Amino acid sequence: MKKNLKLGLFGFGCVGQGLYHVLHETRGVKATIQKICVKTPGKPRPIQEDLFTYNKQDILGDPEIDVVVELIDDANAAFEIVKAALQQGKAVVTANKRMLAEHLEEIYQLQQTYQRPVLYEGSVCGSIPIIRNLEEYYDNDLINSVEGIFNGSTNYILTKVFEERQSYGDALKKAQELGFAESDPSLDVRAYDPAFKLTILIAHAFGVFIAPERLIRFGIDKISATDLRYAKDHQLSIKLVARAFKEGDKIYGLVAPQFVNEHHPLSSVRNEYNAVSVEGAFAEKQLFVGKGAGSYPTGSAVLSDVSALTYDYRYEYKKRHQENRLVFSNEATVEVVVSFTKPGQVTVADFAVFTGGFQAAGQQSLSGAVHLEKIREWSSQEGISVILAPGVSLRPLVAAKKEDLTYA
């Protein structure tokens, strides 16, 4: 039997307003927003003023409110809200991927302690229902890999750069104007955002909780003119790809730009769209595509979680309870093309397997297989661009031999 839920909403920005509108346009969900907590008094807002409060206790301390919906930017404040809501016996819906990635194991424990659910479908890839699919459809399947385009802002930017020949700066500005980019664009372009999302998916796909800083990431902010020229000369595009895969009892993960050709399934994923590819031992590979940024796509994902709560749904973290426990590792290699400006900044000695190089427009490029930790080292250095090689599997290589590499 469905419940009539009373919601307390924290935050009324892009996603909060999206939730408000889709809730009022959807007749099938029995839920009402009782109060909205915001931090800026006097700011013009498009709905009646009596719904708003500036005191979080008006929601957390209200026994009539069943569900706290947390949609603010501040990850630390968001975690305190989630923790307090659970302690007050309230269910929680959130879309704060940074807060979840940094505190997911603790949130898992809090759910067990207070026996109240936390749902967060809207935190990963907007409108794509990937977490619930991992929880339900793939509950008994052995997942080999999860990979894809997890950030709509960077995909929008790269689409405009390659298809419309816009500059990186102009494309970023337009993404911000459209509400695709985060309030701090570095979270997108430096690949923090997809790393947070991958951290969450690793927990549901493989049952492993990791700190997001353990994931090696390389953003799109260092893509050079040489990289763009190389891509266009070889009929390639560049996508920011997040991936995690299982090899034996180890889980490996990485977020980095990758050259893809026109036949790659991710090459046709354009603008703010996201894509998630899941490969199972029995279901094999399936691709999910949907809008990953914007007010309504994320708002609809949040509403989906609210709807699920009317049926007492909760995540069971089924992979967490399987007998074969996996561990996370960065002990792997991956094929890359590295471009750099200063002579000697990157050398052949940096490669586990070196395959070649070229020079153009004042930049040098070297290619081959490198250790994942070398990518982490390069990510902190100016003037170095790393892009995963074209024509290869998205999986990092556990061991590399020159005859196995598929590019020059």
Q: Cite the active site residues.
A: 197
CA 142/CA 344 separation, integer angstroms: 44
- Kindly report the CA angle at 364 between 362 and 369, in degrees rounded to 5? 165
Angle between helices 152-163 and 168-177 (to 10 degrees): 130
Instruction: Transcribe 33-83 into DSSP letters.
Output: EEEEE-S-TT---SS-GGGEES-THHHHT-TT--EEEE--S-HHHHHHHHH
Q: Any residues with CB less than 8 A from the CB of 238 and at least 6 apart, and which?
A: 158, 162, 220, 223, 227, 228, 231, 257, 258, 259, 260, 387
Q: Which two tokens stand for residue 122?
A: 């809207």
Helix, strand and coil content of the chain, in percent to the nearest 5, comes to 35, 25, 40
Q: Looking at the DSSP assignment, which residues form a beta bridge with residue 384?
A: 340
3-state secondary structure of 168: helix
251 and 372 Cβ atoms separated by less than 8 Å: no
CA 117/CA 298 separation, integer angstroms: 20
CA 379/CA 255 separation, integer angstroms: 11
E strand or H helix that includes residue 187: helix 186-189
Q: Looking at the DSSP assignment, which residues form a beta bridge with residue 338?
A: 366, 386
CA 275/CA 218 separation, integer angstroms: 19
